[in-house]
Amino acid sequence: MSTEQTPDLDPRLLEILVCPLTKGPLVYDRERQELISEKARLAFPIRDGIPIMLVDEARPLDEDEGSKA
Amino acid sequence: MQTASSSSPLIFDRRALRRQRRRAARRQPACDFLHREVAERLDDRLGDVLRDFPLAVELGCHHGALSEKLAANPRIGTVFGCDIAPDFARAHGHLAADEEFLPFAENSIDLIISNMALHWVNDTPGTLAQIRRCLKPDGLFLAALIGGETLDALRGCFMEAELDIRGGAGAHVSPFIDIRDGGALLQRAGFALPVADLETVTVSYENAFSLMRDLRHMGEGNVLAGRQKHFTRRDVMMKTAALYQQRFSDADGRIEARFDILFLIGWKPHASQPKPLAPGSGRISLASAVENMDESDESGC
C-alpha cells in the first residue's frame, strides 16, 4: 500500500491524535502508513499523508498483530 | 468511552452525509456562498477574542472557506482541519475525522472551531462533551451551525404537497437546534461562559428547485436517517415548488429561503475565568447598592 514518497505526518498532529473510539494511544506504523489502536484492535490508514480517523475505514488487526509495541 | 450513537436515536445518516460531501468536494466551490458568508461572521467573532491560540482544530473544513481565514489569522499558530469526507480533508485540511468520534487527546487543543458542520451530528451533547474534553483548560469552542427556523417554508410546502398527493408526509428538512437549546447544550456539556445567538441569512432563489439543487451542491441536502430512500415523486416536487412560489415569492417572482445560523461559544473551565460569587457571600445589601446607584444618577438598566 505504501507509495514511494509518502509525505510524513506532521509530528504536532501525531502528538495530539488518539483513537477515536477508545481515546487510547496510537502507534504510528510508518512503513504501512497506519495508525494503530491496540485497544480498539484497529489500524487507521494514512492516505497521501492524511490520517483517515474514521472507524468504518479502519482495518481490523489480525490476532497476532500489534503486540510488538 | 463517550460513544456517540449507541443509545441515542439516529436522526442523520452519517454515511450518506459522507457520500454527499464527497460529491460536493468534486464540485467547484461556487455553491458554498452560505459557508463563506458564515465563515466571515465566525472570523469576525473570533476577532473579538483577544487571545492567541497556538493550536487550533477546525471541524468540518468543506471547501476551505473558514480554513483560509484561520490560516491568515496572526493569533492562530497551527490549524489542523478535519472533515468527515476524506476528499475535503485532502483538499483543504489535514485529517478525516468524524465529529461524533473525535480523535484528539484530552487537554490538547487551544481552539476548536466549526463552520456549518455540527447540525449533522446525531448526538450533540456527546459531541460537545468530547469537544470540551479535547480543549485545554481555558480553551475556546466557537461554532456556527444551521439552526432555528431554517427552511421552515420548504418544510411546510413539502409536507402539504405530500399530504395532498400521497396522503402521508416524510421528512425532507432536518430538525434544528433552537437558540435556547443551544445555550442549554453548552451548559450541559460543561462549558464556562456559554453564549448562544442566532443570525438570520435570507437567500433569494429563482425557485424551490434551484434552492434544493444548491443545498445538494453545497453538501447540505437531506441525509435524514428516516428519509425516503427513493427519489421524491415528481408531482410532489412540482406541487412543493408551486406552493413555495405562491406563498413566499417577492415582486420579481423570486423566492426567499431563510437560514438561521446558530452561533455557539463556550470556554473550557479554568480557575482564571470570572465566576459568580457563592450565594450569601455578598457584603453590601442590594438596597444600599440601588440607593448608591440613584445617588450617582446612573441609569444602569
Tens digit of each residue's pLDDT (9 = 90 or more) over B267-285: 999 999 988 788 888 888 8
Instruction: Output the nine-digit C-alpha cell for B143.
Output: 461554532
* pLDDT above 50 (res B99): yes
C-alpha cell read off for B34: 452560505
What's the total number of domains in chain A?
Answer: 1
Q: How many residues are listed for chain B in this entry?
A: 301
- Which residue in chain B has the smallest CA separation from A10? B94
pLDDT recorded at residue B255: 95
Domain residues of chain B, as ranges?
14-154+172-224+255-299
d(CA B88, CA B22): 7
**Inter-chain touch B55–A16, beta carbons under 8 Å:** yes
At B248 the pLDDT is 93
Q: How far apart are CA B179 and CA B148, in angstroms?
A: 7
A4 in a structural domain: no
Chain A residue at shortest CA distance from B127: A20
Cβ–Cβ of B103/A48 closer than 8 Å? Answer: no
Which residue range(s) make up the domain with A35?
11-60
Name residue, grid cell 445617588: B295
Find chain B residues with C-beta within 8 A of A54's C-beta.
Answer: 84, 86, 96-98, 101
Which residue on chain B is closest to A20 by alpha carbon?
A: B103
In a domain, A5, yes or no: no
Residue A8 has pLDDT above 80, yes or no: no
Q: Count H helices and E strands in chain A, helices first.
A: 1, 5
Alpha helices in A1-69 (DSSP H): 11-16
Q: What's the rounded Cα separation, in Å, for the pair B2 and B253? A: 49
Q: Looking at residues B77-98, what average pLDDT do you find?
A: 94
Residue B80 forms contact with A (CB below 8 Å): yes
- Cα separation of B270 and B267, whole Å? 8
On average, the pLDDT of chain B sits at 90
Chain B residues within 8 A of A39 when measuring between CB atoms: none
Count of Cβ atoms closer than 10 Å to residue B73 Cβ: 17
What pLDDT shows up at residue B225? Answer: 87
C-alpha B116/C-alpha B270 separation (Å) is 27
Answer for the pair B141, B135: CB distance below 8 angstroms, yes or no: yes
Q: Is residue A66 situated within a structural domain?
A: no
A35 phi, psi to nearest 5 deg: -115, 120
A3 domain residue, yes or no:
no
Please report whether residue A25 resides in a domain. Answer: yes
Q: Which residues are registered as beta bridge partners of B79?
A: B56
Residue A1 inside a domain? The answer is no
CA distance A23 to A37: 9
CATH architecture of the region B14-154+172-224+255-299: 3-Layer(aba) Sandwich (3.40)
Give mean pLDDT, residues B205-233. 88
| A21-56 pLDDT, tens digit each | 999 999 999 999 999 999 999 999 999 999 999 999
* Residues forming a β-bridge with A36: A27, A43
Determine which of B1-10, B48-57, B158-167 has the lowest per-residue pLDDT on average. B1-10
Determine the pLDDT at residue B35. Answer: 93
| Model pLDDT for residues B101-146, shown as the tens digit of each residue | 999 999 999 999 999 999 999 999 999 999 999 999 999 999 999 9
CB B124 within 8 A of CB B146: no
pLDDT at residue B297 in the model: 56
Using an 8 Å CB-CB cutoff, list chain B residues near A52. Answer: 86, 89, 95-96
pLDDT given for residue B26 in this prediction: 83
Q: Taking residues B238-250, report their average pLDDT.
A: 94
CATH number, domain with residue A48: 2.20.25.10
Which residue among A12, A18, A52 sits closest to B86, beta carbon to beta carbon?
A: A52
A48-65: burial string, b at 16+ Cβ within 10 Å, e else:
ebbbbbbbeebeebeeee
